[in-house]
Amino acid sequence: MSEAEEKKRLRAITFGSLTGFLAMGFGSGLSPKAPGTTGSLAALLLMYPIALILPIEWQMLLVVVAFGVGVFICARAAKAIGTHDHGAIVWDEWVGLWAVLVWLPFSLSTWLLAFVLFRLFDIAKPWPIGWLDRRLHGGLGIMADDALAAAFAVLTLLLIGQWWPIEFVWH
């Protein structure tokens, strides 16, 4: 299949169903360069009004529900594409980044640091993230490595917070 045909097929999957549209991050996963980072940037921009409007308890519930929905929609999208965890599937990045940002009140510097740390752990996949990514398949596998990358980012923010003042929502 040519590159043009592949792009057309991915667009059809993305815009052909709600499942595809969500899994591909409203189309942000179709970016020709760094779709995971582009998708994460879209998630960051979407989280800002959510953080302003919803109380923290509702934001946390949103992350949990989005994870559960993600298991289903990412599995369906991967099946439609024919590749496990295709780069265009970015719902896992959305939920992973939200799982980091939900702990932080909005501050441009802190949210940008959270974004960079999450992307670093998601891309580099240090142990056990890479191990989990290779062994867990299906929708849960697509979602789980990003959840673990989110946990690593939060832990790193907590460590950085020992020397640099980072405010967390539970303070």
pLDDT band at residue 77, thresholds of 50, 70 and 90?
A: very high
Asked whether residue 16 carries a pLDDT value surpassing 80, the answer given is yes
Helix axes 56-81, 138-160, angle to 10 degrees: 140
Whether pLDDT at 71 is above 60 = yes
Q: What's the one-letter identity of residue 97?
A: L
At 171, is the pLDDT very low, low, confident or very high (cuts 50, 70, 90)? Answer: very low
**Mean pLDDT computed over every residue of the chain:** 94
DSSP code, position 136: -
Residue ranges of domains in the chain = 3-25+34-160
Check residue 1 and give its pLDDT: 80
The per-residue pLDDT for range 33-66, each reduced to its tens digit, is: 999 999 999 999 999 999 999 999 999 999 999 9
pLDDT band for position 161 (cuts 50, 70, 90): confident
Q: How big is the chain, counted in residues?
A: 171
pLDDT for the residue numbered 169:
60
Residue 103 CB neighbours (<10 A): 21
